[in-house]
Amino acid sequence: MGFDVFVQRFQNGEPAVVTDPRVWELLREAWEAPPDDLDFSRVRRGAGEADLYAVQEGEPIDGLMFSRPAGGAEIFDLIVDVARAGDMVIYAPGIPPCLIAEGQRSQLPADFDDFKDPVVVANGAELQEVIERA
């Protein structure tokens, strides 16, 4: 699939950083090498893979971009697992914001759902379904 999937945390309607080490643990398990000087890394899970644009390992995360996820549902499971670990929302052009928990709805910026109503996803298969329906 040729698109970018963004993962970001919001608090009181504003972007918020993620410092939970579980996010880095999940990314370390999936990447071929830590992010380079341009904050790029390639991640894989099962048959799925994506380019990842992040920050340097261990730094607070203000957002992640998984570019061109492809190859199977496992890569979407990784995206959902990372979002869950960091209390983050998943969004991409043309799809509704994907929440990990209903409580995130009240944390979104006021104009974030202007285009589509947010939906809650429990796993990668549900995220992939939302993307494929768009």
Measured between its terminal Cα atoms, the distance across the chain in Å is 12
Q: Is-above-0.85 flag for pTM? A: yes
Task: Give the pair of three-digit tokens for residue 72.
Answer: 């199977």
pLDDT, tens digit, for every residue of 2-24?
Answer: 689 999 999 999 999 999 999 99
3-state DSSP of the chain = CCCEEEEEEEECCEEECECCHHHHHHHHHHECCCCCCCCEEEEEECCEEEEEECCCCCCCECCEEEEEEECCHHHHHHHHHHHHHCCCEEECCCCCCEECCHHHHHHCCCCCCCCCCCEECCCHHHHHHHHHHC
pLDDT, tens digit, for every residue of 97-122?
Answer: 999 999 999 999 988 766 678 999 99
Task: Give the percent of the chain with pLDDT over 90.
Answer: 81
Q: What pLDDT is attached to residue 31?
A: 94
Would the pLDDT of 37 be above 60?
yes
Q: What pLDDT is attached to residue 9?
A: 98
Share the mean pLDDT of the chain.
93
**85, amino acid identity:** A
CATH number of 4-133: 3.30.310
| C-alpha–C-alpha distance, residues 66 and 29, integer Å | 15
Residue 59 neighbours by CB under 8 Å, 6+ apart = none
Q: What pLDDT is attached to residue 131?
A: 92
Task: Give the percent of the chain with pLDDT over 70.
Answer: 96
**116, amino acid identity:** K
**76, amino acid identity:** F
Would the pLDDT of 63 be above 60?
yes
Domain ranges of the chain: 4-133
Q: What pLDDT is attached to residue 115?
A: 63
